[in-house]
């Protein structure tokens, strides 16, 4: 992994610490498939190169996932992220909802990836939080930080939903929040309003993307 190779050389500045957090969070927020144990080992290695409260939060998610049986981890993930609208990791869902603006907002993510010299993912929407975190960690930390900061409100809604669900993933999201500017009072109020009222709606088809709330996963999918 490119990021691990870089941190082994030595990294103590804020940007590198944030990149470590973003990479670790991206790995932890992935669906717990057969590669989960290897990802947790990688996260432990990443956390060995950093410290502080964000690392401690990520460590709590690691410990919780290690304590789960594979079936329980998979079931819990689906129940958390696929069955709860507020826990969606598609960031533009809360800023644009099912409106024509959402397609444009997702194109902004795709454009940021291309501007940094990489193609948007084919298997996932460009606004999917683990994808954004991976981009920020391994491709363009400043562009990634901007995308995350601009979508602080959806991230805060997600964190609140995970806290309410007592999900171990709440700690990973809290760690990401520690890398971003402190939420303003206006952002906090907006997050509360959106969490209560839901995202904007509009009966218009979206092009080129059509994802809204993540689809339910089938066992083994």
90 — phi, psi (to 5°)? -90, 105
Domain-located, residue 59: yes
200 band by pLDDT with thresholds 50, 70 and 90: low
H or E, element range at 100 = helix 100-115
Let me know if residue 129 belongs to a domain. yes
In a domain, 31, yes or no: yes
**Does 130 reside within a domain?**
yes
Question: What does the pLDDT look like over 68-106, one tens digit per residue?
Answer: 999 999 999 999 998 888 899 999 888 776 656 788 888
Read off the pLDDT of residues 172-185 as tens digits, 9 standing for 90 and up: 999 999 999 886 77
How wide is the angle at C-alpha 177 spanned by C-alphas 135 and 62, nearest 5°? 80
Residue the block writes with tokens 């099912």:
98
Indicate which CATH number applies to the domain containing 150: 1.10.3480
Kindly state the average pLDDT of the residues 36-59.
95
CB 176 within 8 A of CB 70: no
Task: Check residue 208 and give its pLDDT.
Answer: 36
How much of the chain, in percent, has pLDDT values that exceed 70?
A: 78
As a whole number, mean pLDDT of residues 123-136 equals 95
Q: Alpha-carbon distance 87 to 162, whole Å?
A: 7
CA distances from residue 127 to 43, 93, 106, 112 in whole angstroms, order as listed: 22, 9, 6, 11
In a domain, 213, yes or no: no
In this predicted structure, the answer to whether residue 190 has a pLDDT above a threshold of 90 is: no
| Number of domains the chain is built from | 1
Can you name the residues that pair with 214 across neighbouring β-strands? Answer: none
Q: Which residues pair with 201 in a beta bridge?
A: 98
Residue 214 lies in a domain: no
Query: Is 0.85 topped by the overall pTM?
Result: no
Domain that holds residue 85: 1-197
CA dist 178 and 156 (Å) reads 11
User: Cis omega before residue 208 (within 30°)?
Assistant: yes
Answer whether residue 209 is part of any domain: no
d(CA 87, CA 195): 10
Does residue 89 lie within any of the structural domains? yes
Q: What was the pLDDT predicted at 206?
A: 36
Model pLDDT for residues 139-173, shown as the tens digit of each residue: 999 999 999 998 998 899 899 999 999 999 999 99
Rounded Cα distance, 173 and 196, in Å? 20
């Amino acid at each position: 992994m490119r990021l691990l190779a870089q941190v082994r050389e030595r990294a103590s500045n804020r940007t590198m610490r944030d990149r470590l957090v973003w990479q670790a969070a991206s790995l932890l927020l992935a669906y717990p498939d057969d590669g989960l144990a290897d990802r947790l080992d990688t996260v432990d290695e990443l956390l060995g190169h950093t410290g502080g409260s964000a690392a401690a939060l990520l460590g709590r998610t690691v410990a919780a996932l290690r304590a789960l049986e594979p079936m329980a981890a998979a079931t819990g993930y689906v129940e958390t992220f696929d069955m709860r609208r507020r826990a969606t990791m598609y960031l533009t869902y809360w800023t644009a909802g099912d409106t024509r603006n959402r397609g444009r907002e997702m194109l902004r993510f795709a454009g940021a990836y291309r501007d940094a010299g990489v193609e948007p993912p084919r298997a996932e929407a460009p606004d999917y939080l683990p994808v954004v975190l991976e981009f920020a960690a391994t491709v363009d930390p400043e562009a990634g930080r901007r995308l995350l900061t601009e979508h602080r409100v959806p991230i805060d809604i997600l964190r609140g939903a995970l806290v309410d669900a007592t999900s171990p993933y709440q700690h990973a999201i809290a760690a990401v929040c520690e890398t971003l500017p402190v939420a303003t009072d206006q952002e906090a109020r907006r997050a509360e309003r959106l969490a209560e009222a839901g995202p904007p709606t509009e009966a218009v088809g979206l092009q080129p993307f059509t994802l809204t709330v993540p689809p339910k996963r089938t066992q083994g999918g």
